[in-house]
Amino acid sequence: MRAALDGAGIEDSDFIARQLIKSKLDVSDITIALNTNTHISEKCQDELREFIQRTVRGEPLNRILEESRFWGLRFKVTSDVLDPRNDTETIVDLALKRLLGKSPGHILDMGTGTGCIIISLLTEWSVCQGVASDISPEALKIARHNAELNGVADRMSFVRSDWGNDVKGKFDLIVSNPPYISESEMTNLPESVKNYDPILALQAGIDGLDAYKKIIFDIKRLLQPEGIALLEIGSTQGEDVMRLVEDSGLFCHGVHPDMAGNPRVVEISFGEK
């Protein structure tokens, strides 16, 4: 498997080969190392060859494994949802810092996808309740599965909704990683992104701001007076999203960077009381 990947110019061939074998055979690294002469059935060999072919064609490893890691947790991923990125963990980290020592009563995650943001937060706050909304029923099925996988399904509800349209109630914390890629940027995305992540989760109109306009409008109705909202943005969108927030009458606390120092999360509230 390493030789096939090396021959195709694939980097990290040893890591990829091991991950594919571990997933297919349900074994550990130690098992692989100590049992090099273990026979693998012809059927399993054929399936591993197909995994290699998919890798060579450019399919990301997480897509082949149908699993991703986020905030140290496991999440199922399919073609119906965005594969979680490490940058998005900035929302979780910032929420925990802003509400240090204080668990919010209710969280809303608009456009939840895999559910990675809200599920990660619920694992940190054991008495908190969450609502996950998404326009895609397939995405909501994946989010529900991931909530069960990570032991928080009993504290979550799932609403099919175009952003906040069909969501009821008020929330202490609202989070979202909406689509923010512009039409012009779509053409320059890596093949591993635009060929495998759902377009619905990537592109948001000509300028990439369509989702923010709707979400910010919904925040005014759904956010508790003392609550905060945290929205992920593209690295060049800080000023535009801050302007949309201020034009709506809400207060923008600024743009927070991710681990690489890139602008990543806009923090919103009703302002100082």
Question: pTM for this one?
Answer: 0.94
Give the containing element (helix H, strand E) for 103: none
Per-residue pLDDT tens digits for 220-270: 999 999 999 999 999 999 999 999 999 999 999 999 999 999 999 999 999
What DSSP string runs through 146-210?
HHHHTT-GGGEEEEE-STTTT--S-EEEEEE----B-HHHHTTS-HHHHTTS-GGGTB-TTTS-H
Distance between CA atoms of residues 101 and 152, nearest Å: 20
pLDDT at 98: 95
Residue 141 CB partners (closer than 8 Å, separation 6+): 80
Per-residue pLDDT tens digits for 127-185: 999 999 999 999 999 999 999 999 999 999 999 999 999 999 999 999 999 999 999 99
CATH of domain 67-269: 3.40.50.150
Domain boundaries, the chain: 2-57, 67-269
Rg (CA), the chain: 20
